[in-house]
Structures are given as structure tokens and as C-alpha cells.
Chain A
Amino acid sequence: MSRWEWRGGLSKVAALMLFLGGLALPPTVIADEHGRGDLVLNGDEICTRCHDEYEYYPVLSIGKTAHGVRADDRTPNCTSCHGESQAHLDGSETSDTRPLTDIRFGDSSTTPVSARNEACLSCHQGGQQIHWQIGAHSANDVACSSCHQLHTAHDKVRDRETQPEVCFECHKEQRMEMQKFSSHPVEIGKVVCADCHNAHGSLSENSLVRTSVVDTCYQCHAEKRGPFIWNHEPVSEDCGYCHEPHGSNIDGMLKLRMPMLCQNCHEGDAHRGLPPSDDGRLTTGRACANCHTNIHGSNSPTGNVGSRSLRN
């Protein structure tokens, strides 16, 4: 017996005792006799005569959310999401256990994910969710309810300070990277997963909110956009060639320390191929960028020979 069923049973026992004592009627019966009607959502009477906040998963607090706005005629009722569930309403003549609702959410649900998500998409297919079906989460059978909590005013994934906890339940490498020396201020909710990724699906690479990696980064780092006289190709192609946006132990969220980072692409001729050392200016401080200053691009018009490679 599940926890809510056990609690429901307890409620019935208490009600029965009160009824047998002839002192009062149990609350659900009160509701019926006095025609209490809908409690929270339009048309919820048939459900809330049994289901209330005295549940493993309380239901009435959905009234605190956007779904509980009865003045908005678009808002759903219980059956909009959980199905008509006639068998559940009718109960079973052969078993003490009531058949479950047609559509169930949560970890132990056996309802196909697509059916669960369809309950949400029937209203939320536009806007950010336009590309849900083609997105990575849909392809991996992630349910909307895997991330969102509907029956509560505080949906963790919609709160900037708690959203990463939800994402890290699956994205564990990113959870490690966020703890590193150089990372975005995720912990205090200043930069969160949804600022860069559209978890509801995107036609861009890596489910980005903008059309490319660089356009996503330029939201906050527009000074890197250029174009410049002396461009550095990766800056307009993919910031991820040099940076680890989820965090790294190297200042500037670099993937590797300089000069090793630069040596991954640039020719080993002359000083560029020198091995790093712990007392050399090619390795310490800003390393290569000690001299090659504006590594993201320079708009120096002076005509100095060095302005091309030094970018200053």
C-alpha cells in the first residue's frame, strides 16, 4: 500500500469512528451533502471530495500556481492532465485498491512519457516549447514532470537559485565543473543553466538558447563580437575551443593552461614551441596573453607590424 493510500485509509477510519459516534460527519461527506462544489480548479469537485492536502503529494496547493487561476479560462482541471480516469472514479468491486488514474506522473509512473508530456504540450506547445519533440530531452524520454513540480508554488527548476540542482540530477559532470576555481556565478543564481540552454528543445547545437555557441556567449560578452581588424577565428566560431563554460581550475575558464592551450593549434616554430616552465613568462600570469593582449581580437589601426600577431 502506498503512503497516500495508507493515509487515506487512516482518514477513513477516523471518519468512520466519528460517524459511528453520531457526533459529526466526516469532511468528505460534509462536502457532498452541502454541495461544496469545486475547491481549487474548475471541475475538481469529483476529485477533491477524496483528494486534499492530506496526501503524499498534496493537491490543493496547485491553487497557488498559474494553473489554479480560475479566471483564466485556459487553465486545466484535474482530468485535463490525469485523464478522465473513469475506472479510478468507479473503484473496484473485487479489490480494496482503487485503479489508478489514466495518466500518472512521477518516478514510478508506468504511463508512457509521451502521453505524460502530451498532457502538458496540449497547452504549452508554443513559445519555448515549439521544438520540444525534436529536442534532446524528448529524444531521451525525459518527462516534463521529471524536472517540473506542478502542485506547488515553488517549482525548483523555475527558481534561479535551485534550478541547477534539478539539472545536476542527470548532468553530473557539469555539477563537478561548477565547483572549480573559475566558473560562472551559478551558485547564487546569476547565471543558470537556462540562460544558455533551452531544456525544452532547440534546433541549435547543444540545445542552446541562441543560434550558436558564440551568439549565446555574446549575450553577456558582446565586446568579443567584433568583427575586428585582427580576428581570432575561434572567437566567432566556437568559444568552446578554448573555454570550458561550465567551469575550470584555470583563470578565464580555459580548457588548458597557456601555452599548452595555444600549442594545440599554433605552429611550434620559434618561441611558440618552447616547453612550459614554472619560471617563464610564457607560462605564468597571463602567459601567452602577456604579450598577445587582445586575444579575442584587436582593432588596432596603427599599422605596427606587431599589431597583427600581438593584437594590442
Chain B
Amino acid sequence: MTAFKQGIVPLSACLFGLVAGAATAQDDELEEVRLLSTPSSSVSAGLGYSSDDLKQLGRYNGHEESGFHLLLDFDINQRDDETGTWTRVDGRRVGLSSRSLRYERNRQGQWNYFIEFDQLDARDPYDYRTGLRGTGSDQQRLTGNLRSIELSQERRNFKLGMGRKLTSELDFNLTYRHERKEGERNWGTAASVGSDIQSFFLVEPIDYRTQELIASLDYVTDRLQLQGGYLLSLFDNPTEVVTLDFSSVDPSASPRETATAPDNSSHRFYLDGGYAFTDKTRGSLHIAYQEDHQDEDFYQSNPFNFRDDLGGEVATTRINLGLVSRVLPELTLRGKLRYMDRDDKTPQVQYIITSGRVNQLTSRSSLNGSLDATYRLKPGTTLSGGLEYEDREHSEVDDPNMARRDDNQEFTLHVGARQTLSDTLQGSVKLLHADRDGSGWKPGSGIAEGTLLTTPVAKDFVNSIQFADRERDQIRLMLDWFASEQLSLQWLTEFSQDEYDGQPLGPRDGDKLLLSLDGAYQLNDEWRINGWVSWRDYTLDTSTHGWQDLTSGDFAASYTGSEQTWSGEQRDLGRAIGLGIEGLTGDEIKVGAKLQYSNDDSSFDMSVIDAPSDAQFAPAGSLPTIEYKTLQFRAFAEYPLDDWGNQGLRLDYQYERIENDDWTWNNHTGYDQTRVSQDSRESNHFIGLTYYYRGW
């Protein structure tokens, strides 16, 4: 349609020439050219109707309540061609709580400034029935009278920015962002009740402010490009602690205090650079130094070290280098080096009564280097290969309830090829093998360092997934078939397999398979269809053991019986399909429709590895499979009200449905009788009618 009308440009000039002569035709043509090449604007306004109140489907999009919604979008673009000055005003979803607005003005190549507002309301997808009172405040009290509450959070973002070209080679840019996040979040705490520890429902009051300031200076020449900058990030939270009065459960208990996220700040200085040594060789550089601080006053002094704040300070240095060179016309080499050092300078002192239990530090470092080569064997055939090595040194954490290592090393090798198989068919394959190991295991607690850990009879045998010895093999196959000018298809296969080793318990192996087919077909000049289908299967086998006297319900002590060793296989199977069609009817009505469907199953099968006769529990065999389904159908029609399609009416229809039987949330009842539930099925019809005007 667009091409047809745009084709009127020369043809209309010809026809007009029949009557008015060539000169007038030229004037008309130039006017048409002006319209076609001048920035245009659009506005659309109307009403939408949503059929249902939504918890899950309306989580972010502003359609959480049934009824009518104002639909308003605009995109105003004006340009002064004499000076190259743009004025842009953009509004999206203005009538909804997910609105965004932006005003921008710039004289291209000289200066610019903008202001943005963005809002995002997030609804908690669960229903809560609780005896908690004072939710949203820092004083909360548990009662026996249950009531229903809903939780949500609102983000309001303001962003300002400006830029100025100082010289032909030097640019200065400054942006400032202020975000306020308010609302309430599902939270909890644990407290002693009698001789046991019980969990209690809490609602975290959210009143966060995040500010970010970025100032940067760019220097750009033909060979050298530099960007140096400063980034300031500030986080403020006026709530320091939430106190729970649960005397309704335990009259003798003192209120339980739970700390909230403390204020913190971060300062980063950075330099990015690129330099073309020759036309064929280029270097890249990123250097950054960052300091993070956290020294918010404690809501009470620590009774053991008498400190009033943590005095937290972390300095992080990063140096990243890159070099790419076309050493031969057919051969390109890429080398990269990344170095990171995180130095936690926070004073380490005793914080709890147990001797030696000090605050935890997070110093660590890593070094990563890679070398890749791409060789163009012949036109249409490219070979690639590369090596990567990474060394990570971990934090020294006091008693982390897990076995750990001082460092890990990982070596990765990959090879690949891209081949034009015919005029219409292209294929690629990539193979990867990675091997990770590390230093000797250190027990988390209770076992002397250096003890040989060989059998699962004591603590600290879990093969922590990010520290474990691991071999990873991966293959990726891709085919692009341009069957004709109308039809294109793309096939993707990815398979990866992980084998873990090192400790007797923990992750043992895992694999992932992804299959995907995409297609697009141009039926004719006006109609186009596309579709895709994807299938993903992920599994992870683990094993662990427990040692627990369930009869007492005591989660902290009274261990009797023997340890039970068991294994579990986590499997996530996902299937998704998408179909779309868009075109133009003979009545010049633009129509389109899109359908998306996904179905995910999550299962966890358990089996016994070692079951002593006095073991006091046994795996249940398998957990109920959790199924999550989504269906979304969207359709639209645009009916033009003038011959040029500048104005018209647009009708939108959308049907959405989800089904979710996640029993881990649905009907969960806590010790304090707070019950969480979730609608297992939710659906909604939405219909919207808007008037649009485009093109002035």
C-alpha cells in the first residue's frame, strides 16, 4: 500500500503534466518529495475496555483493572531544516499506569537536551490473607484476625540529559536519573518461638530512591576514540528496620527486628578507548575504578563491637583490553583480556556472640583471556576457532555453610564454520568444550582444612555449582534457507551437556536442548505471514543428603538418626509457538493478527541413594509437575478516513489467558496462618478503538 501510494509521486506528476504542463508537474512533485522526506508526526487517541481484573496478566501493563482505559499515544517530530534543529515529543501509553513521556530538542551536531518521565506499576501476582497489621509501615503486628491484602510497587523515573559538541572532536554529555520506588513487597522473618524457630509473614515497606549521574567526555578522531566519564549512583531507603510484634503467638516474646536494605553509594571513574593502529589493526581499552560505600547508621549499636555503622568500603579495579587485526586478507585475529580486582576494605570485626564470627568480606579477583581467529577459506566459507582461559580467586568467607575453593580455572575451546551451501542456503556450526577445575576443597565448618573429603558421611560435601569441576560440551547448528524471494526459513539446534565432578554430592550432570524453526512468507505485495516454533528441554541432576529429626520440628538441633542421601532430577520442558499475519484488504484496510502460545512443564523426580534403616525421612518420589501455559491472540484493523491514509480508525482486540498450577505458592499457609494463593487460571478480553492522525 505504502509503495503504491508513494508511487503516485512520479505518476501523479505525469498525469498532472497532461493538463498543467511540465513546470507545474515539477512543483507538485517537489511538494510530494518534501512531504515524503520531512519528519512526520502521529497521534492516536481512543478508549479501551478490559473485561477482567488481572493479577498476573496485568502485572506491568496497566490493564490490571477491568473497565475502560484511556488510550493515548503521540509522537511529535518537528525539524527546522535551516538549522537542523529537532523538537520531539513522545508519549506512550499515556492513559495507563505504564506511561512514558519524553521531550527532546537538539540541534544536530551541536547540542541536545531532553527530559523523560517513565512510570511502571508492578502488581504482586499473589493473594494474601493474613493477620498482619501495619503492613507497609516499620511497625507490624500479628493478630489472629485474617484479612486479604494486595501488594504492589510503583516506579517513577525522571531523567534529564544534555549534550554539547565542544569542538569537532570533543563532546560532553550529562544525564541524571531519579527513580522513586514505593509500595509493599512480600517479605518475611524468622523468630524463636519456644525452642523452635518459626517463619512469619512480613510486608516490606518500599520507599526507595535511586539516583544516577553520568558525566562523560568523548574525543573522536579518525584513528582514536576515547570516552572518559564519572558515574555516581546513590541509593536511599528511609526505613532501617521493621519490627514485628508477634505476642499473639508467643506472649513472652520480644518484638522481632528485621533490617531493611541500607543506603549505599557508588562512584566510578572510567575510560573507554579505541585506536586504529593501522587500517587492519585496532585496539580497545576499558579501565574503571569504582568505590562502593555503605555507612548507614545502625538502628542500634552492635553489642559486641559497639560500632554504629558498618563502614563498608569496596574498591573495584577493572582493566579490559582488546586487539583485533586482519593479519591476512583472509585471517582475522581477536584477543581479549579482562582483569578485575575487588578489594573489600570494610573493617572486619566481631558482630555476634560466637567468637570469631565477624562480618563477611567479598574481596575477589579474576583474570580472563581469549584469542579467536576467523579464516575466510573461500568466498562463502569461513572457519573460526578460539581459546579462552579464566582464573577466578574467590572471597575468604567465614563459615559459609558450604565447601569452597580458593580459586577456579576454566579453559574453553571452540571451533566453528559458516558455509554458503548454495545460492539460497547458508549454514553454520559451532562446537565448544570447556573444562573447569580449581584448587583443593576447603570445608565450610566442623572439619579441619585438609581433611580428605571422599565419602558423604559428614558435612561439606556439596559440589557447589559455581565452584565445581565441570566439563561442558556444546554444539550449535543453524541453517538459513532463502527458498525464494517470498519464503525464508531458519532452523536452529543447540545442545549442551555438563558433567560435574569433584565432590560426592551436589550437581552431577545437566543438559539442554533447544530446537527452533522460524519462517516468513510474502504472499504477495500486500500480505505477509510469519511463524516460529521452539522447543527447549533442560535437566539438572543433583544429589544431597539431610540429617533431621522431623518429629521435634526443630530445624536447628536435636539431630537423631542417620543421614539420608538422595538424588533429584530437575526438568524444565518448554514449548512455544508464534504465528503472525499482516496485510491489506481490497478496501485499503490494514489488518494484522498475532498468536502466541507456550506450555512449560517443570518436574522434580527424587530417588534414594542411601537409606539407612534409622533414617527418618524419605524423598516423596517426585513432586507434582508444575505446568504453566500462556495464550495470547492479538488482532488489529486500520480503516483509513482519507485517500492518503493520514487519518483513520484503528480497532484492536486482544485475548490473553494463562494457566498456572504452581503449588509452591498456591494455598501456601505459614506458621502464622498467613495464606498465599494464586488464581490457577486468568484470562482477559481487551478491545480498543482509537482515532489516529499521522503525517503532519
Could you list which residues of chain A lie within 8 angstroms of chain B, going by C-beta atoms? 2-3, 7, 11, 14-15, 18, 23-28, 30-31, 33-34, 36, 39-40, 52-56, 58, 60-64, 66, 68-75, 107-108, 125-127, 130-131, 133-134, 138-139, 141, 153, 161, 169, 172-173, 175-176, 179-181, 185, 187-190, 203-205, 211-212, 215, 218-220, 222-231, 233-234, 236-238, 241, 249-251, 256-257, 260, 263-278, 281, 283-287, 289-294, 296-310, 312
Contacts and interface: CB of A to CB of B under 8 A. Distances in A.
A203 B337 CA distance: 9
7 contacts: A70-B81, A180-B600, A218-B233, A222-B233, A268-B547, A270-B548, A293-B202
B17 A277 contact: no
A301 B194 CA distance: 23
B17 A30 contact: yes
Given A53-B7, A54-B7, A267-B460, A234 B466 contact: yes
B664 A287 contact: yes
A61 B340 CA distance: 47
B146 interface: no
Interface centre among B92, B546, B624 (most CB of A within 10 A): B546
A227 B291 CA distance: 11
Contacts of B59: 185
B10 A71 contact: no
B663 interface: yes
A234 B404 CA distance: 13
A211 B286 contact: yes
B662 interface: yes
Given A218-B233, A257-B664, A270-B559, A310 B190 contact: yes
Interface stretch (B45-53, B346-354, B638-646): B346-354
A125 B225 contact: yes
A204 B286 contact: yes
B548 A228 contact: no
A81 B20 CA distance: 38
A281 B674 CA distance: 12
Interface string B148-185: 00000000000000000000000100000001000000
B351 A229 contact: yes
A53 B9 contact: yes
Interface string B531-571: 01010100010101111100000011001000111101010
B514 interface: yes
A270 B296 contact: no
B301 A61 contact: no
Contacts of B574: 176, 180
Given A265-B462, A278-B624, A293 B212 contact: no
Nearest to A37: B30
B537 to A, nearest CB: 12
Contacts of A269: 458-460, 546-547
A303 B462 contact: no
Interface in B207-266: 208, 210, 212, 218, 220, 225, 227, 233-235, 237, 256-259, 261-262, 264, 266
B227 A181 contact: no
B439 interface: no
Contacts of B314: 227, 236
A228 B258 contact: no
Instruction: Report the 9 A-B pairs with minimum CB-CB distance, sorted nearest first.
Output: A63-B37, A273-B546, A71-B84, A24-B17, A53-B6, A291-B190, A126-B220, A203-B320, A223-B261
B338 to A, nearest CB: 7
A203 B294 contact: no
B673 interface: no
B534 A281 contact: no
A299 B262 contact: yes
B302 interface: yes
Contact of B98 (A141, A188, A231): A188
Nearest to B30: A36
A30 B25 contact: yes
B71 interface: no
A300 B485 CA distance: 65
Contact of A264 (B464, B600, B662): B464
B696 interface: no
Interface residues of B, number: 207
B352 A55 contact: no
A233 B36 contact: no
A27 B29 contact: yes
- Interface of A: prevailing SS: loop
A176 B199 contact: no
Interface string B23-40: 101100110010011111
Nearest to B382: A141
A26 B14 contact: yes
A265 B464 contact: yes
A278 B460 CA distance: 26
Interface in B273-297: 273-274, 282, 284-286, 288, 290, 292, 294, 296
A54 B6 contact: yes
Given A229-B351, A260-B542, A265-B465, A72 B108 contact: yes
A263 B25 contact: no
A233 B362 contact: yes
Nearest to B674: A285
Interface string B432-468: 0000000000001000000000001011111011110
Contact of B93 (A26, A188, A278, A304): A188
B461 A268 contact: yes
B482 A227 contact: no
Contacts of A257: 602, 604, 664
Contacts of B544: 263, 268, 273
Nearest to A19: B14
A23 B351 contact: no
A270 to B, nearest CB: 6
Interface stretch (B134-142, B304-312, B582-590): B304-312
Nearest to B621: A275
B190 A293 contact: yes
B18 A281 contact: no
Given A130-B272, A294-B261, A302-B300, 16 more contacts: A11-B11, A53-B6, A53-B7, A63-B36, A133-B282, A180-B628, A211-B286, A222-B210, A227-B313, A233-B394, A256-B540, A269-B546, A270-B548, A278-B620, A285-B188, A303-B302
A263 B551 CA distance: 22
A23 B18 contact: yes
Contacts of A176: 534, 536, 574, 576, 598
Given A203-B322, A267-B402, A31 B26 contact: yes
Contacts of B87: none
A310 B296 CA distance: 21
Contacts of A263: 462, 506, 542, 544
A62 B212 CA distance: 35
B596 interface: yes
Interface centre among B304, B403, B555 (most CB of A within 10 A): B555
Contact of A302 (B190, B257, B307): B257
Given A130-B273, A131-B284, A267 B459 contact: yes
Nearest to B359: A229
B602 A249 contact: yes
B66 interface: no
B395 A264 contact: no
Contacts of A303: 302-304, 351-353
Given A63-B38, A134-B336, A126 B29 contact: no
B505 interface: yes
Interface centre among B13, B61, B368 (most CB of A within 10 A): B13
